[in-house]
Amino acid sequence: MEDFQVSDHDLSDLALSEYLQAEAIAVDTETMGLLPQRDRLCLVQLCNPEGKVTALKIAKGQTDAPNLKRLLEAKNVVKVFHFARFDLATLRYSLGIQVQPVFCTKIASKLARTYTQRHGLKDLVQELEQVELDKSAQSSDWGNAANLTAKQLSYAANDVRYLLNLRQTLIEMLVREERLEIAKECFECLPTIVSLDLLQFKDVFEH
Ligand code: MN
């Protein structure tokens, strides 16, 4: 793979300074499952506008990653996720990181692409980038950090590789449909939604 690096525990100082120069970076995580309190964080993937991808392995029992925290909390670098709600919860629960500012391509898609119900990453990449994503490693054992397969790593890298382009296309659609402001408001309230999720409230807004 072109510009792809695997790291352990934390970003190097060099990688941190490189990623900090970006206006926006793509971020994704792989975990043992869907419950942050039960299922540990295994991998954090990053991609900058130049296409530099890092897959950062998080060790079992690891509770912080100072350089990753500096990057993900840096106010001048937008962090682009697909379904940020989940990644923000696991990053906060596992590593104490309060990610901001955030752009979520799933929320943007729901607000802009009202002509479809298909808002999965695979659907978005297919329609907006004309690329067929192979998601067959999605539900695999990410806990065996020492022995991640080439297939798993290539899957993990592809999950961040298209997010920055998707963001640009979705911003154009949101502007056209006059929904960029409501999208930004949704992104800004994500930390609150994540707090409620981690406290296991289902829907405090419901009647
Ligand atoms: Mn992923």
Ligand 1 mean position to 28 CA, how many Å?
A: 6
> Residue 72 contacts by C-beta under 8 Å, 6 or more apart in sequence?
27, 79, 91, 97, 99, 100
Ligand 1 mean position to 137 CA, how many Å?
A: 9
The mean pLDDT of 97-115, rounded to a whole number, is 98
Name residue 46's beta-bridge partners: 27, 54
Q: Residue 13's closest CA among 72, 66, 75?
A: 66
In 88-195, where do the E strands start and end? 102-104
Q: Where are the domains of the chain?
A: 4-198
Ligand 1 mean position to 27 CA, how many Å?
A: 9
Q: Residue 29's closest CA among 11, 41, 20, 39?
A: 41
What is the pTM for the complete model shown?
0.96
Q: At what angle do helices 180-198 and 105-112 cross, to 10 degrees?
A: 130
The mean pLDDT of 62-72, rounded to a whole number, is 98
Supply the CATH classification number for the domain 4-198. 3.30.420.10
Ligand 1 ion: Cβ-proximal residues, 5 Å cutoff? 28, 159
Buried b (16+ CB within 10 A) or exposed e, 170-207: beebbeeeebbeebeebbeebbeebeebeeeeeeeeee
Ligand 1 mean position to 52 CA, how many Å?
A: 17
Q: Do the beta carbons of residue 87 and residue 112 sit within 8 Å?
A: no
pLDDT at 145: 83
Question: Percent of the chain, pLDDT > 90?
Answer: 92
Alpha carbons within 13 A on the beta-carbon side of 198:
19
Given a cut of 90, whether residue 106 has pLDDT beyond it is yes
H/E stretch holding 105 reads helix 105-112
Buried b (16+ CB within 10 A) or exposed e, 32-44: eeeebeebbbbbb
> What would the pLDDT profile of 125-167 be if each residue is shown by its tens digit?
999 999 999 888 888 999 998 889 989 999 999 999 999 999 9
Q: Do the beta carbons of residue 20 and residue 71 sit within 8 Å?
A: yes
Ligand 1 mean position to 160 CA, how many Å?
A: 8
At residue 65, φ and ψ (nearest 5 deg) are -155, 85
Given a cut of 60, whether residue 201 has pLDDT beyond it is yes
Ligand 1 mean position to 207 CA, how many Å?
A: 34
Given a cut of 80, whether residue 2 has pLDDT beyond it is no
Q: Lay out the sheet containing 4-8: strands in order across.
A: 4-8, 53-57, 41-47, 24-31, 78-81, 102-104
pLDDT at 48: 98
